[in-house]
A and B are shown apart, each in its own frame.
Chain A
């Protein structure tokens, strides 16, 4: 009963480095998304996907790339890390994008950019 699994849980990067945050769900959910959580700002949507092969931008997409080659996985790539990307990142999934579908969240990845 894993739900949404995010790896790693913690990561420290230097400015300019690239990395991929992993997200996997085992609930056969079609809808997946990435949020970042910053103090006093709640969670903001970075990118989302309504199914394999389909992705779209959210509120704060700059500096991030995503792809969705399978239903289960939705990795988030930082192309060239910047200190402004220091944040806690959450992946979420839901069965569909409908009004009655709650989002299931992973435990988060805490990322620090030096």
Chain B
């Protein structure tokens, strides 16, 4: 079945540092890929998505590229801020299962210090 593997945290960075969170997936066909972010005490919010190979999702300075050849969807940001401290989840859906059923990675906690 589908699965998502992402790097373990916590990842601790200084403000303005470069952030990368690795995410790889196992799925048949071409799933849709997502990054969700969870701020303390809140639910998950969609950060960005990509629905086909070579698509690049971007939002709030974050980017991720759908790489079919390496089955990866790594999240990057060039200069993090303290407000980026959160837990980040990589997720996929479809295509052999319902598109609405999300398969999540374990989550990566990011801590950004001033």
Residue of B91, B99, B105 near A98 (CB, 8 A) is: B99
- Interface-located stretch among B12-20, B43-51, B60-68, B72-80: B43-51
Interface residues of B in 14-68 (CB under 8 A from A): 32, 34, 36, 41-46, 49, 51
Measured CB to CB, the nearest residue on chain A to B31 is: A99
Check A33–B100 contact: CB distance below 8 A.
yes
Using A90-B44, A105-B44 as known contacts, say yes or no to A42 and B99 having CB atoms under 8 A apart.
no
Q: How far is the CB of A24 from chain B (nearest CB, A)?
A: 14
In whole angstroms, how far apart are the Cα atoms of A92 and B45 in the complex?
Answer: 10
Contacting pair B100 A94 (CB below 8 A):
yes
Select one of A35, A48, A102, A106 contacting B98, CB under 8 A.
Answer: A48
Please give, as numbers and ranges, the residues of chain B lying within 8 Å of A74 by CB-CB distance: none
Q: How far is the CA of A48 from the CA of B103 in the complex (A)?
A: 13
**Does A77 touch B at the CB level, under 8 Å?**
no
- Please tell me if the beta carbons of A42 and B106 are within 8 angstroms of each other in the complex: yes
Residues of B within 8 A of A99 (CB): 32, 51, 93-95, 99
Most buried by A among B4, B45, B99: B99
Given contacts A45-B101, A99-B51, A99-B99, contact A107 B89 (CB under 8 A): no
Nearest-Cβ distance from residue A27 to partner chain B, whole angstroms: 14
Number of A-B contacts (CB under 8 A): 70
Residues of B within 8 A of A96 (CB): 100
The residues in A between 88 and 114 inclusive whose CB is less than 8 angstroms from any CB of B are 90, 92, 94, 96-108
Separation of A41 and B42 alpha carbons in the complex (Å): 18
Give the chain B neighbours of A53 by CB distance below 8 A: none
Residues of B within 8 A of A (CB): 4, 32, 34, 36, 41-46, 49, 51, 89, 91, 93-95, 98-102, 104-107
27 contacts between A and B (CB under 8 A): A4-B43, A31-B100, A35-B102, A35-B104, A40-B106, A42-B104, A43-B44, A43-B104, A45-B102, A48-B100, A48-B101, A90-B43, A92-B44, A92-B102, A94-B100, A97-B100, A99-B51, A99-B93, A99-B94, A99-B95, A99-B99, A100-B51, A102-B49, A103-B102, A105-B36, A107-B42, A107-B43
